[in-house]
Amino acid sequence: MAISNLQKARAAYQPKLPKALQGPVKAIEGAGTQSVGNQAEIKELFPNTYGMPVITFEPGEPVALPPFNVGIILSGGQAPGGHNVISGLFDGVKSLNPANKLYGFILGPGGLVDHNYMEITADIMDQYRNTGGFDIIGSGRTKLEEVDQFEKGIQILRELNIKALVIIGGDDSNTNACVLAEYYAAKKYGVQVIGCPKTIDGDLKNEQIETSFGFDTACKTYSELIGNIQRDCNSARKYWHFIKLMGRSASHIALECALQCQPNICLISEEVEAKAMSLDDIVTYIAKAVAARAAEGNNFGTVLIPEGIIEFIPAIKKLIAELNDVLALPEAQSITSANEQIEFVKQRVSRENLATFLSLPADVAAQLALDRDPHGNVQVSLIETEKLLSRMVADKLAVWKKSGKYVGKFGSQHHFFGYEGRCAAPSNYDADYCYSLGYNASRLIANGKTGYMSIIKNTTAPAAEWIAGGVPITMMMNLEKRNGKMKPVIRKALVELDGAPFKYFASHREEWAKETSYVYPGPIQYWGPTEVCDRPTITLQLEKAK
């Protein structure tokens, strides 16, 4: 395939590894674990993989292992660094025994069920080292939750003599990995399942997982674009730019980009919910900042908006929860027209939620009442929140202008940064982190572990000082309602309002709202000073107080 000069140069980059993974390892077991919630229920659902200890790897003595094969699946949305997880796993597996083979299942979990696979050879792997995207084998969103799927999977795993399966994905994908690990353990099929924490949204993290891979690169990519817009904004001085950023369930991306770029306004969904803000409260907050800058002669600015903010407005969140239940009803499944579905919803929601529904702009209300994603969630990326907010701000400013409360001119531009960040060439941080996650997964396999997630910690330190190991996936789980039913899922990590990153942002946002304090981060740097090229996110630095 044709490759760019950058890709040629990046192919020569050798990702850094923690010292513990640079040779043979021994596994140090910690205390037993329990799930973050619903302990009794999760233990009952996962009797074979519950309560296992956290694992930490330390340098050990060489152990000869017979040849074994490994399968790998990319699941869910793309995130920068996926190819490096695979290259780390490839090199790790080969280092254990050169006869070992790595098989990739094509287009996600569906490839396992449909027996669609390819062997990843050295020649193939070398074309994808340190590159963005998931195109080496593709990704997919097939959910692994049915016994028939598990049994079809074991057929091909046995045919290929695969000892272990590594699933690279977010919280839902790793929930599936946990379910699959439990099923194969219960059946004593002898196949291990290991997960790797991926999602640019940054909401797959906890005390054991410092960050999900891809978050660093995606935020740096978006911050470059935001910085470019801010520079244009500060040059033309005539537009307010409303910029929506990926992050359906959490505002980590918006917060990190705000820390990097210092926009005039950044909304944080979790704060909106905590303060029980209404849609009008949000609009008024933005309009006041616009009016204050206009009074200083500055009719321009930037507003960052998390993709899922509409779900965090308490009245709308309550409405959505009931809509999810209503649309999960059996009689709703046969509805074919949008108008019929909207009427169906209106007739079945409570009086309070109907009032909220009818108060929304017609296009937003319609979107809330229509199709869900495979997990039963509102498809918030289809709601043009950035346009909705700017439209409502314009209307409020027009009213204020008549009463003399506003003296400026208001023009707006709209942006949604999503796909732009999902397949970027990984930053040095993500290249190193992902390679380590993959290499570490090979050591979890070699030590006979299943139902574990590969983890790398202490990543604000130099890579040699990073800590490698594994955490039981059941440790992260609780029960949540999905498609009208309570199901075991990994708990998402939201922005903590008492955490250091948000506190730092909150202490500076009044200044940023009034002043033009823009920072222009520029493109990701791959060669040069360590403090420029290898730095982790500001979020992680503040969380680790470094």
Active-site residues, by number, are 201
Share in percent of the chain as helix, strand, coil (round to 5): 45, 15, 40
Q: What is the rounded (10 degree) CA torsion for 531, 534, 539, 544? A: -80
Secondary structure class of 144 (helix, strand, coil): coil
Tokens 């009086």 locate to 351
Phi, psi of 292 (to 5 degrees): -65, -40
Give, in order, the Cα–Cα distances in Å from 266 to each of 98, 211, 244, 417.
Answer: 51, 21, 10, 15
| DSSP string computed for 455-509 | EEE-TTS-GGG-EEEEEEGGGGEEEEEETTEEEEEEPPPPPPTTSHHHHHHHHHH
Give the CA radius of gyration of the chain.
24
Could you tell me which of 89, 95, 192 has the C-alpha nearest to residue 438?
89
What gap in Å lies between CA 456 and CA 472, rounded to an integer?
Answer: 14
What gap in Å lies between CA 18 and CA 357, rounded to an integer?
Answer: 53
In sequence order, which residues have a C-beta less than 8 Å from that of residue 191 and are 6 or more positions away? 154, 157, 162, 163, 164, 165, 184, 450
Could you tell me which of 258, 264, 267 has the C-alpha nearest to residue 234?
264
| DSSP string computed for 78-110 | --TTHHHHHHHHHHHHHHH-TT-EEEEETTTHH
- Long-range contacts formed by 314-322: CB under 8 A, 24+ apart: 314/273, 314/276, 314/277, 315/278, 315/356, 316/279, 316/356, 316/360, 316/368, 317/273, 318/352, 318/353, 318/356, 319/349, 319/353, 319/356, 319/357, 319/368, 320/368, 320/378, 322/349, 322/350, 322/353
What gap in Å lies between CA 426 and CA 280, rounded to an integer?
Answer: 39
Question: Are the C-beta atoms of residues 146 and 27 closer than 8 Å to each other?
Answer: no
Q: Give the H or E element holding residue 59.
A: strand 55-59
Identify the burial level of 403 via C-beta atoms within 10 angstroms of its C-beta, where 0-12 means exposed, 13-18 middle and 19 or more buried: exposed
Q: How many CB atoms lie within 10 A of CB 448?
A: 10
Secondary structure class of 55 (helix, strand, coil): strand
N- to C-terminal Cα distance for the chain?
42
What gap in Å lies between CA 239 and CA 300, rounded to an integer?
Answer: 5
Structure tokens at 159: 């045919």
